[in-house]
Structure 1
Amino acid sequence: MSSTSSSESETSASSSKFDPIKVLYSKKTKVPVKNAPLYDNLQQFESALKYNESQSSSIIPVGKQELVKKREEEKEAKKKEEEKNLAEKNKQRFAQYQGLEPVKRPFRAKNVMTRLEAMTGPLGALKECVDQRLRIKITTRNANGIRGVLHATLVAFDKQWNMALSDVLEIWRRKAPKKRKIPPALGTPVPKGTAASISAVPVVTETNVGGGVLECTRHLPQIMVRGEHVVMVNIVERSTALSQQ
């Protein structure tokens, strides 16, 4: 009986004669708490004892995989929350410098049509004529002086004042045939009707204004005027509207 009691006291965890080696090899060992948590070593157990119940999740016993997964999810959520707060804090911190940051503009191809959009001044007025289809009056010149005027609708232009016009009424003056000085050796004239067979030749209407001068007019569906021949441009429809007001 004494040996039996001695054996029981040595395998009992609450006994002063507790012998861990006998406990490992004895078949009569009884676990005081069946659901007690298991730890890998004494250091983990001692660390778990130092924390209170609210912090007990920092040291997880062996076999509690659901607790490990829950703790990792909480860590990930906490990390995302901290990153979000940091980004918001940095955004408020650098908000005053946001306007000073260089902005990379998207690449745009540059051509005549794209340059028309940003033109200002006199070229901006011509752009308005193109957009609103306003009629304009163009005074043209020749080698010696003013040649005549063109009443037309502006279709396109560039910075050299080259202009594409449509629905053109051209008016100019020239001397009567008897007053003209025809230089000699002009070459063989083109047979009558040759140009008309290639394209329709506009009909020129001549009106005698006196002094041996004829005023000629003709209508052209479209024409291209070089900038070096342009003397002055007037917006006819705008000036008409202002005079009516």
Structure 2
Amino acid sequence: MAEENNSDSSTSESEISACSSKYDPMKALYSKKTVLPVKNAPAYETVQQYEDAQKMASILPVGSGQLVQKREEEKKAKKAEEERLLQEKNKQRFERFQLPTPVRKEKKSRNLLTRIDAMRGPLAVLKECVDKRLRIKVITRHATGVRGVLHATLVAFDKQWNLALSDVLEVWKRKGVRKRKVPPGLCTPVEKGTASKIFPVPVVTETPVGGGVWECTRHIPQMMMRGEHVIIINVVER
């Protein structure tokens, strides 16, 4: 401490003054009496950096972090703007040579329910029967003529006139079976299978109408009717 005080005492103001001809930079660096001629003067790491700063204003002094960050942000914004302008220029340049891009339409799934909604003409009447749950009368045929009549509620249909029916009452006529001798092998009863336990076989009610003709009636909860067996369809109730 004594040596430091002695060094400060031996140091004159002319030796630590930057404007004096006797200026000693080493004493000015270590002396506590050194006074900066310019307050808030910029500081540079080397003399070369100071000389470059005098020639080019782009070199910043030490401690200017905010200015450096601001300058970097300005550079990035300027570069992004230049890229945007270049892309816009290229787009306008090659736009006339580009063909129109085809737009792919979204493929809609088509099934029986979507087809029913788009039905037109006579099939639109069946669509009304499906929506309002109306009863219909279906006259059916077999290979040689008219087979019978179905009274049912229409559930679904398609363009081939295939029908899905519910709560079906089927009425048809047949000739009485003549008595004939049955071979002994055909008289053995067959056990009922599992299908009859799950869904019982509909009971057929037979009523004679004369002339050896019987009228048969049975009730079926659900039925699928092929379109080739349909002759005509009438709406029973509106």
* TM-score band w.r.t. shorter chain: 0.5 to 0.7
Kept after mapping to 1: 8 A contact 2:167/2:221: yes
Report the Cα distance in structure 2 between the residues aligned to 1:104 and 1:44, rounded to whole angstroms. 64
Aligned to 2:115: 118
Equivalent position amino acid for 1:35 in 2? N
TM-score, reference length from structure 1:
0.54
- Residues in 1 aligned to 2:181 and 2:228: alpha-carbon distance in whole angstroms: 29
Q: Tell me whether 1:38 sits opposite 2:39 in the alignment.
A: no
Alpha-carbon displacement from aligned partner over 1:30-49 (angstroms, at most 9, x marks no partner):
6432312235343334443x
Q: CA deviation at 1:165?
A: 1.8
Structure 1 residues 203 and 181: CA distance shift in structure 2, 3 A: closer
Contact 2:133–2:153 (CA under 8 A) maintained in structure 1: yes
Distance in 2, Cα, partners of 1:157 & 1:36? 94
Unpaired segments ≥5 residues, structure 1 = 49-57, 90-99, 241-245
Residues 104 and 70 from structure 1, CA distance in 2 versus in 1: closer, same or farther, beyond 3 angstroms?
A: farther
Structure 2 Cα separation of the partners of residues 24 and 182 of structure 1: 143
Q: Structure 1: which amino acid aligns with 2:154?
A: L
Moved more, 58-67 or 225-234: 58-67
> How many equivalent pairs are there?
198
Q: Deviations over 1:46-95 (max 9, x none)?
A: 443xxxxxxxxx7643212233345556777x58x97xx99xx9xxxxxx
Displacement of 1:148 after TM fit? 1.6
The correspondence of residues 82-231 of structure 1 with structure 2, limited to 5 A, is 102-103=103-104, 105=106, 114-119=111-116, 120-121=118-119, 126-158=126-158, 160-175=160-175, 177=176, 188=186, 199-206=200-207, 208=209, 213-231=213-231
Structure 2 segments unaligned to the other structure (5+ residues): 1-11, 89-100
Question: Pairwise mapping of residues 47-86 of structure 1 onto structure 2 (< 5 A)?
Answer: 47-48=56-57, 60-72=60-72
The offset of 1:129, in angstroms, is: 3.7
TM-score (norm 2): 0.55
Deviations 1:112-152 (A, max 9, x none): xx432234335565455444433222221101022122111
1:236 counterpart residue number: 236
CA contact (8 A) 1:152 1:168 kept: yes
Specify the code of the residue in structure 2 equivalent to 1:116.
L
Question: Could you say what secondary structure the match of 2:38 adopts?
Answer: coil
The code of the aligned residue for 2:39 comes to: K
- Give the secondary structure class of the aligned counterpart of 1:164: strand
CA distance in 1, matches of 2:188, 2:53: 114
Shift of 1:183: 9.6
SS at match of 1:221: strand
Contact 2:141 2:231 in 1 (8 A): yes
Q: Could you say what the CA RMSD is over the residues aligned between the two structures, in angstroms?
A: 5.1
Q: Deviations over 1:187-217 (max 9, x none)?
A: 936859979x863432425362x66655433
Contact 2:16–2:28 (Cα < 8 Å) also in 1: no
CA apart distance, 1:222: 2.0
Cα distance change of structure 1 residues 158 and 24 upon mapping to structure 2, 3 Å threshold? farther
Whole-angstrom CA distance in 1 between matches of 2:188 and 2:130: 38
**What letter corresponds to residue 114 of structure 2 in structure 1?**
E
Letter in 2 for 1:42: E
Deviations 1:4-28, CA, capped at 9 Å, x for gaps: 999889x43xx9x8x9xx7755638
